[in-house]
Amino acid sequence: ESVVSRIAAGEVVIGPFSVVKELVENSIDAGANSIEIELRNGGKSYIKVKDNGHGMSKDELIIAVKEHTTSKIEKFEDIYKLSTYGFRGEALSAIARVSRLIITSSSGVESHRLEIIGGRVKSIEEYPHSRGTTIEVYDLFFNVPARRKFLKSAISEQRMVTEIVEKFILSTPQISILYKNEQEIIYHAKTGTLKERFTLVFPEVKEFTEMKGTYVSGIISSPDYYRKNRTGQIFFVQGRYVVDKMLYSVFETGYGEAITTGRHPYGVIFINIPPEKVDVNVHPQKLEVKFSNPKEIYSDIIRTIREAIKTFISK
Ligand code: ADP
Ligand code: MG
């Protein structure tokens, strides 16, 4: 493996949090309804993501870790449909290049275990596994000392993973998610509703309401519940977590006089735009979103928030 390719891998693999993000997205893409995530040493020594999705055959396993291979695009236009998270076929090969990786997978018919060290296939053998896939990442960046050095403390790395896991907990109530660090359960989110997931992630919020617009939905808190930063304000566009400065301002405009400066009410807002209607451009890494008609979208969200907060104000 060349240094260049290891550095390139570092563009996709930033740290344990990005590994978890990519692996969980793959599990969701594989149709899993149960996902287990486990870390040791904040993910620096060990990351496991196990799912009960459709799994991989022996051939699919070998192809999956090759660069720029994906099973998810049939036609080029599919890239724009964003129906699955993955489409670049970079993640698994990049992770494989900068770690010791073990993938165990079963398509329900056959079941194998593939071991890769620093991008080199060490072994592939038959190995029992229930239908689905388990990916284990040992010693991230063991062969890229410059990157390894920049990993933060186990506690900080774990916190970043937790933030990612919380986004999945909120966006996929239909998938059971178990998340552990050093044998300790951080989250055990059973299959349920958005309400239940919201309460799990934000247990301090006792008063909130559900919003159901045509394409804007979610949960927002009463103005009495707020944070002094925006960590309780989460947006998903077509199911993907996005960060957009302009989007945050819908809270200020929507709540209006119900909140004072510096108080940021909680909100988990899903924007599902019919793909043929709007050109949504979500950058795969940067979490940025570009709407072709942002004004219309912001004002629709604001209208939905205003409608929803009436429940609190009328009290
Ligand atoms: P992408 O998700 O962009 O296709 P990845 O590198 O993340 O690329 O994954 C490569 C391929 O490996 C996927 O297209 C898929 O076929 C397969 N794969 C990865 N993870 C899983 C999984 N958990 N279950 C089933 N197949 C998987
Ligand atoms: Mg992927």
| DSSP letters spanning 276-295 | TT---EE-TTT--EE-SSHH
What is the Cα 3 distance to its own chain's centre? 28
* pLDDT (tens digit per residue) in 74-91: 544 444 444 455 446 788
Higher pLDDT, 84 or 137: 137
Burial class (CB in 10 A: 0-12, 13-18, 19+), 183: exposed
For the CA of 53, the closest atom of ligand 1 is: 24
Cα(125)–Cα(84) distance, rounded to whole angstroms?
29
Nearest-angstrom CA–CA distance, 159 and 62: 33
What separation in Å is there between the alpha carbon of 66 and the centre of ligand 2? 12
Q: Which ligand is nearest to the CA of 63?
A: 1
Ligand 2 centroid to Cα of residue 38, in Å, is 18
Q: Mean pLDDT, the chain, as a whole number?
A: 89
Q: What is the pLDDT of residue 79?
A: 45
Give residue 240's pLDDT. Answer: 87
Give the long-range contacts of residues 207-215, CB within 8 A, separation 24 or more.
Answer: 207/312, 208/266, 209/308, 209/309, 209/311, 209/312, 210/308, 211/269, 211/304, 211/305, 211/307, 211/308, 213/300, 213/303, 213/304, 213/307, 214/300, 215/271, 215/272, 215/273, 215/274, 215/300
Using CA atoms, how far apart are residues 181 and 116, in angstroms rounded to an integer?
24
Atom of ligand 1 nearest to the CA of 135: 23
Distance, in Å, from the CA atom of 23 to the CA atom of 30, rounded to the nearest integer, reads: 10
* Probe target for ligand 1 pocket from 11, 84, 92, with the most ligand atoms within 8 Å of CB: 92
* Substitution candidate for ligand 1 out of 25, 70, 78, 85 with most atoms within 8 A of CB: 70
Pocket of ligand 1 (CB under 6 A): 22, 26-27, 30, 51, 53-56, 64, 70-72, 86-93, 133
Measured by CA distance, the residue closest to atom 14 of ligand 1 is 70
Cα of 73 from ligand 2 centre, angstroms: 12
Which among 106, 24, 121 is positioned nearest to 63, based on CA atoms?
121
- How far does residue 63's CA lie from ligand 1's centre (Å)? 9
Please write the tens of the pLDDT for every residue from 87-103: 467 889 999 999 999 99
Which residues does residue 135 pair with via DSSP β-bridges, in sequence order?
49, 103
Q: Among all chains, which residue has been given the structure tokens 């989460």?
A: 234
Phi, psi of 85 (to 5 degrees): -75, -45
> What φ, ψ does residue 188 adopt, rounded to 5°?
-130, 90
**Residue 293 alpha carbon to ligand 1 centre in Å:** 32
Domains of the chain: 3-189 (3.30.565.10), 206-313 (3.30.230.10)
Give the pairing of strands 176-181 and 184-189.
antiparallel
Q: Is pLDDT of 148 > 90? A: yes
* CB atoms inside a 10 Å sphere around CB 167: 18
Contacts of 255 (CB under 8 A, 6+ apart): 223, 265, 305, 309
Q: Is the pTM of this model over 0.80?
A: yes
Burial class (CB in 10 A: 0-12, 13-18, 19+), 121: middle
Reply yes or no on whether the pLDDT at 315 is more than 70: no
Structure token pair of residue 275: 């793909």
Determine the distance separating the centroid of ligand 1 and the alpha carbon of 301, expressed in angstroms. Answer: 34
Closest by Cα among 186, 163, 171 to 20:
163
Least confident of 4-8, 11-15, 82-86, 224-228: 82-86
Which ligand number lies closest to the CA of residue 56? 1
Ligand nearest 64 Cα, by number?
Answer: 1
